[in-house]
């Protein structure tokens, strides 16, 4: 078998079989990470006071306690076991949970007014959204095929962590947001 020499309070005590020891994870990094998310995949997950299996961590609650709740991720940490997010709900810090438990929203990098026109020529497979796709509060408001091959006004452009989107309007009426790649002849 394998044995480890160990010490306590700076004094060498002796040797023990490796099965007698519990090994803790170490942090590879712990950084600020501000994102909004929904807690969705709770099966087999627990919320912890620190990232899982870091020395001193304690269980807070089963993750099922927070299923389908909107959360604000405030920190991201990586250990040998994986990536963990520290999160809060309604401004109250809850604890740390495996990243796979979250459905993370995209962040808007910029959102600016524009005055362009374009043809919605690649409508198939694209939806129209109330906000740029996958940001907090986004709702599907229709299919882009309803406006296929129509010339529309492009009144806003927003870039998210996923893609760039145009807010389109027809005759001054805002229709919604569509992926920039759905448009041609933009000028």
> Is residue 17 in a domain?
no
Expressed as residue numbers, the domain containing 58 is 23-104
- CATH code for the domain of 158: 2.30.30.170
Query: Do residue 83 and residue 143 come from a single domain?
Result: no
Rounded Cα–Cα distance for residues 148 and 96 (Å) = 45
List the end-to-end C-alpha distance of the chain, in Å, as a whole number.
Answer: 73
186 in Cβ contact with 148 (< 8 Å): no
pLDDT at residue 22, rounded to an integer: 80
> Is residue 84 in a domain?
yes
Query: Do residue 97 and residue 114 come from a single domain?
Result: no
Count how many domains the chain has. Answer: 2
Q: Where are the alpha helices (DSSP H) in 26-150?
A: none
Query: Do residue 100 and residue 112 come from a single domain?
Result: no
Q: Angle at Cα 57 formed by Cα 55 and Cα 62, nearest 5°? A: 150
pLDDT at residue 102, rounded to an integer: 97
> Is residue 48 in a domain?
yes
Q: What is the pLDDT along the chain (187 residues), one digit of tens a residue?
A: 899 898 889 999 999 888 888 888 899 999 999 999 999 999 999 999 999 999 999 999 999 999 999 999 999 999 999 999 999 999 999 999 999 999 999 999 999 999 999 999 999 999 999 999 999 889 999 999 999 999 999 999 999 999 999 999 999 999 999 999 999 999 9
Rounded Cα–Cα distance for residues 73 and 85 (Å) = 6
What is this structure's pTM? 0.74
Query: Do residue 75 and residue 113 come from a single domain?
Result: no
Query: Do residue 140 and residue 87 come from a single domain?
Result: no
| Consecutive H or E run containing 151 | strand 151-160
pLDDT at residue 61, rounded to an integer: 97
Of 104, 132, 152, the position where a domain reaches its end is 104
Query: Do residue 97 and residue 152 come from a single domain?
Result: no
Rounded Cα–Cα distance for residues 11 and 76 (Å) = 36
What CA–CA distances, in Å, run from 88 to 39, 148, 156, 158, 187?
11, 42, 32, 27, 43
CA neighbours closer than 13 Å in the CB half-sphere of residue 102: 24
């Amino acid at each position: 078998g394998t044995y480890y020499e160990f010490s306590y309070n700076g004094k060498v005590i002796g040797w023990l079989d490796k099965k007698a020891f519990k090994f803790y994870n170490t942090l590879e990094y712990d950084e600020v990470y501000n994102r909004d998310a929904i807690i969705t995949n709770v099966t087999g997950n627990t919320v912890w006071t620190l990232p899982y299996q870091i020395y001193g961590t304690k269980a807070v609650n089963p993750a099922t306690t927070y299923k389908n709740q909107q959360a604000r991720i405030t920190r991201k940490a990586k250990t040998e076991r994986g990536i963990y997010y520290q999160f809060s709900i309604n401004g109250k810090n809850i604890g740390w949970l495996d990243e796979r438990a979250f459905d993370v929203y995209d962040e808007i990098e910029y959102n600016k007014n524009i005055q362009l026109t374009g043809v919605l020529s690649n409508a198939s497979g694209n939806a129209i959204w109330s906000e740029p796709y996958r940001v907090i509060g986004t709702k599907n408001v229709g299919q882009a095929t309803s406006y296929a091959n129509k010339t529309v006004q492009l009144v806003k452009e927003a870039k998210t962590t996923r893609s760039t989107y145009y807010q389109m309007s027809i005759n001054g009426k805002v229709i919604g947001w569509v992926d920039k790649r759905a448009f041609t002849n933009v000028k």
